[in-house]
Amino acid sequence: MDGREFTLGIDKLSPEDQEYLKDWKPASATSFSGKKEDLTIGPPPSRLQLADFYKKHVDYDGLPIVSSEKVPDKALLEARKIVAMMVAKNPRMIDKLVKNKVRVAIMASTEMTTDIPEHSDLTPKDYWDKRARGVGATHARPATSGAEENLLNLPGDRYKGENIFLHEFAHTLHLMAMVDMDPGFDAKLKKTYEKAIAAGLWKGTYAASDYKEYFAEGVQSWFNANMESKIPNGIHNEINTHKELEKYDPELYALIAEWLPAP
């Protein structure tokens, strides 16, 4: 890679990537962006001024999706597909992310959270590297991350059965787009969260931690991308699907419905 952008033709990919891309279809991005799909994978454009760690890049309507050379192309494309799906109802959210200089960073299965340049100062390092396989973007650290093994459902995924990148991108849409587009969004979300907790909902789950996790966990269930536990285990309970969320917490369901497409 010499700094020039290049296109990977289907015949230049590994056999595994060729098989993946053969049937890969974007989540109807063209239908709402009005732009031709560009699945070019190459080095990050110099205009992005990203750390040298990043060697691969694919674009989604101006949002950079990047990784080191260790990450297979199909992991970047899977993250791109999830982004397209989540913003399908309100593509203007991408404009806000781009304005806030957000980028999506994908970790290889052998990389750790603090290998990502924007997250390299997280402390304690051992805690973050052991626990996190994805982090949401903030103004201080404008990278949202996900992990190869979770995106591609590989053996050894410590969060098998749920989509961690989707959870972290939900945080990113919330904190880096929705609050800019609707200054009253946070107050509305907090009120919905407080009402749910007062009613005894989400007891013994991660969603009860705070209003931000309440939203992100709700989005996972909205997209049928969460885990289930018949008895609350500190992280999950029996609610993990779109239909279950609608019945269990209709106010959270209605709030999410204002922004995100039905699965």
Confidence at residue 125, expressed as pLDDT on a 0 to 100 scale = 95
CA distance 59 to 105: 12
Pairing of strands 143-147, 103-107: parallel
Span 111-137, mean pLDDT?
96
Q: Is residue 23 part of a domain?
A: no
57: Cα separation from own chain's centroid? 16
Cα atoms found within 13 Å of the Cα of residue 130, Cβ hemisphere only: 5
- Please name which of 170, 186, 183 lies closest in space to residue 86, comparing C-alpha atoms: 170
Instruction: Tell whether 36 and 125 lie within a shared domain.
Output: yes
Instruction: Tell whether 58 and 92 lie within a shared domain.
Output: yes
Q: Is residue 151 part of a domain?
A: yes
CA distance 217 to 17: 31
Verdict on whether the full-model pTM lies above 0.75: yes
Instruction: Tell whether 195 and 115 lie within a shared domain.
Output: no
Q: Is residue 26 part of a domain?
A: no
Instruction: Tell whether 225 and 189 lie within a shared domain.
Output: yes
CA distance 97 to 94: 5
Instruction: Tell whether 249 and 213 lie within a shared domain.
Output: yes
CA distance 92 to 109: 32
Confidence at residue 1, expressed as pLDDT on a 0 to 100 scale = 28
Q: Is residue 135 part of a domain?
A: yes
Q: Is residue 12 part of a domain?
A: no
CA distance 148 to 111: 9
**Most distant CA pair in the chain, distance:** 58
Confidence at residue 38, expressed as pLDDT on a 0 to 100 scale = 81
- Given a cut of 70, is residue 8 above it in pLDDT? no
What's the pLDDT tens digit per position in 174-186? 999 999 999 999 9
Cα→Cα distances 105→79, 126, 128, 157, 204, Å: 9, 20, 16, 18, 31
Confidence at residue 10, expressed as pLDDT on a 0 to 100 scale = 29
Instruction: Tell whether 146 and 201 lie within a shared domain.
Output: no
What's the pLDDT tens digit per position in 24-50? 443 333 334 445 578 989 999 999 999
Instruction: Tell whether 145 and 239 lie within a shared domain.
Output: no
CA distance 217 to 229: 14
Domain end position, chosen among 161, 193, 215: 161
Take residue 93 and report the two structure tokens written for it. 């959210």
Element (H, E) at 257: helix 250-257
Q: Is residue 98 part of a domain?
A: yes
- Given a cut of 60, is residue 127 above it in pLDDT? yes
Instruction: Tell whether 215 and 131 lie within a shared domain.
Output: no
203: Cα separation from own chain's centroid? 25
Instruction: Tell whether 129 and 210 lie within a shared domain.
Output: no
Residue 143: which domain range? 32-161
Q: Is residue 2 part of a domain?
A: no
Instruction: Tell whether 87 and 201 lie within a shared domain.
Output: no
Instruction: Tell whether 149 and 39 lie within a shared domain.
Output: yes
- Given a cut of 80, is residue 240 above it in pLDDT? yes
Contact 148, 109 (CB under 8 A): yes
Instruction: Tell whether 200 and 82 lie within a shared domain.
Output: no
Whose tokens are 């390299």? That residue is 120
Q: Is residue 13 part of a domain?
A: no
Give the count of domains, the chain. Answer: 2
Domain end position, chosen among 109, 132, 161: 161
Confidence at residue 17, expressed as pLDDT on a 0 to 100 scale = 44
What's the pLDDT tens digit per position in 92-108? 999 999 999 999 999 99
